[in-house]
Every structure is written in C-alpha cells, then in structure tokens.
Amino acid sequence: MTRRLRIVAPSDTSRLYPVVADVLAHALVSEPATASKRRSLVRQLTTGDVLINCRGTDAPLLVARGLADIGLTGYDMAVEAVLATGQDLEIRSLAPARASFVCYATVPGRTSIRRLYTEYPHTAARWARGTRGLHDVEVIPLHGSLEGLAREDPDAAAFVLVTTGETLEANGLLEKTPLIATDLCLVRRRDDSAEFDGLAMNSLPLLALPHFCAETAR
C-alpha cells in the first residue's frame, strides 16, 4: 500500500509564497483530486498525497515533530527548527538564491552589546556563543518590528532578516554582517524515507548547517 504523504508549505500570505508557488507549479503537474474551497488550506492531490498550507516558520517544526513528512521552507527557518527541536533534519536545496539574508546589525560605533533582539533565538544564541565579545549576550525573542528597539536600546543589536535593507537604514542600523541565506529548501527527517516524486528529493543538493552551529542542539 502506497504511503500518503503530508506535505507542508507556506501559504499565500508568506514572503516565501511566490518562490514556493513557482516550485509547486512545476512539481505538481496534475490537478488536485479535490477542488480547493475558498480559504481552504488543504489540497488533496491526485497522487493521494495531501498539501497543507501553513506559516513558513511552522513548516520545519511540523516535520521535526513528525506531524508532517516533507516541508518547504526557508533555509534560515530550517536551521532554527533544527536547533530548537534537536531533530537532525535533512535539508536540501530547492530554489535559486534570493536576495535576502539573516544579518547581525547594529548602530555604527556601538561596541557594548548586552542584548540581541531576534526572530531566530536558537540560531542567534548559537552564533553569539562562538563570537568574540558576544558570548554572554541576552537573546530576546521577538516576532518582527525589532529594528526600532535595537536602535533605541544603547546596549543592543539585532539578528534579523534583511531583504532591501530599507528598514535597517531607516532605524540607523547601518553596520550589518550577512550570516545566513534564506533560499527555499525542502526538509524531512533523516530517519524517514519520504520521497515525493514531483520534487525528486534524493537528487537535490544536501545543505549543511552554518559553520557556527554545525552540531545539532541537544
């Protein structure tokens, strides 16, 4: 009996959706077996597999916890999920590079950093732990709009997603260091053989964790 896969991917409200939609348009060559209702987040495919839309940040967490078989998400989110859950996910490159990076950013000339505001608390903590002068910083998890706080707090910096850099510049965070690309990738658990024919996962390039967090969190 063929196993029915649960595939999770960002919904149309996600910044990743345009890239995801392009990938799926090539992979899912057949129409869904059931017509999608307005605002429905679930599509049953003719293969019998199910495509579930969710937040891009949640996709790798669902895979890591065994609630989904395959996930499409950003590389930055996959790294954060590995460190957050301790699950050694298999990460494979899926789409061409996009012009966005997770960066360390601060006000020029600010040298005493005690707090790090971020949407990537586990990745930021791992990076800071191995960075001279930052290994004792307090990592403060936030859900967006953190550049203003990082500017007004004289002892703070940001570990933040940067696309155009306009928000950083508007808030005076002009000193930045790119650390992680946010290219679209595909994830599954290493102890799982889930393979979706439309994406030919086993032929995709494997991606390692960034050098500063090469060891899976315990």
- For 90, the token pair is 């298999």
Residue 136 neighbours by CB under 8 Å, 6+ apart: none
Q: Where does 36-176 have alpha helices with state H? A: 59-64, 75-85, 121-129, 147-152, 166-170
pLDDT tier for residue 218 given thresholds of 50, 70 and 90: very low
The radius of gyration computed from the CA coordinates of the chain, to the nearest angstrom, equals 19
pLDDT, tens digit, for every residue of 27-55?
A: 765 544 454 555 678 888 777 888 899 98
Q: Average of pLDDT values for 144-153?
A: 93
Q: Which domains does the chain have, with CATH numbers?
A: 6-97+183-213 (3.40.190.10), 101-181 (3.40.190.10)
- For 8, the token pair is 């999770």
Q: Is 140 left (phi over 0), alpha (psi -120 to 50) or beta?
A: beta
Confirm if 167 and 189 have CB atoms less than 8 A apart.
no
Q: How far apart are CA 168 and CA 191, in angstroms?
A: 40
